[in-house]
Structures are given as structure tokens and as C-alpha cells.
Amino acid sequence: MGGGLFAGVAWAAVALWLPEQEPGPLFGIVLTAITVLAALFPDVDTDSKGQSLFYAILAAVDLGLLIRGQFKWAAVIGFAAMLPALGHHRGWTHSWWAMFVIPLPILVLPVIFWEVHPLALAPFYAAAVLGYLSHLVLDAVL
């Protein structure tokens, strides 16, 4: 998780200077959280502290979404939580293409559900890819 945390903090620092966004503390926190979650994702198929942390965060976010009536997003998170069960450790979750495909819902779903412009979501997608990349590099997959 050290690589994901480092990548998240680095990305949040860079994102503060992006002209397209009006960054505030919440923006940096969200980018860091996305980066850390993406860095944890490849290993959520193992019984580990990372797995416990990943699912605890997802459960809290999912509950918050349900309380706020954001049922579509709650369903998306529930679906995403099941994906690691579709393979074995160091299988598809540790591939280079998964680094780009797994975060795609960050770009695609807000466009479909709420007609958000994809460029507004680019920092969040990039944060997820960066977190995932940090995991693959530290695992010597890339």
C-alpha cells in the first residue's frame, strides 16, 4: 500500500495546479482515496490487511450512497466489489490492460447516468490508473 499512498499524495499535489478544476481539500482527499483504492485492488482476492481495508472503505462508501439515495452508484460499487472473485491471484487483476479497464467506470458511468463531460472526470481516472500502476510496478509486473 506504500506505493499507492505515495502515488496518491503525489497525484493530489499535482492536481492542485490543474486549471480545469477548482481544487480544494476535498478534491485532494478524493484523488488520494481513489489512488489508494486502485493500488489495493489487484490484491483484494487475497486474505490480507489490504483486502480488509479495501472492503471496509467500499462498505462505508456504499452505505453513504444508499443513505443519500444514490442507488445507481451503490449498485456500481457492489458490482465492482465482486469482480476480483472472477479470477485467481496474480491473474487478470495483475495485467497491464486491467490498469486501464478497471477504472473505466469512473469515466463512463457519470457520462451515461448524468451526462458529465469526460474531461471533468479525467483527474479521477488518472488517479486510479496511477494507483493501479504503482501496485503493478511494486509487484514487478511492469
3-state SS string for 62-131: HHHHHHCCCHHHHHHHHHHHHHHHHCCCCCHHHCHHHHHHCCHHHHHHHHHHHCCCHHHHHHHHHHHHHH
Q: Let me know: does 89 contact 81? Beta carbons within 8 Å.
A: no
Cα distance between residue 100 and residue 27, in whole Å:
22
What is the model's pLDDT at position 100? 96
The percent of residues in the chain predicted with pLDDT above 90, rounded, is 23
Which is more confidently placed, 74 or 10?
Answer: 74
Cα distance between residue 130 and residue 126, in whole Å:
6
Cα distance between residue 34 and residue 27, in whole Å:
11
- Answer yes or no: is pLDDT of 57 > 70: yes
pLDDT per residue as tens digits for the range 14-52: 555 555 556 677 787 888 888 988 998 888 878 888 888
Q: How many domains does the chain have?
A: 1
Range of 50's domain?
A: 2-138
Q: Report pTM.
A: 0.77
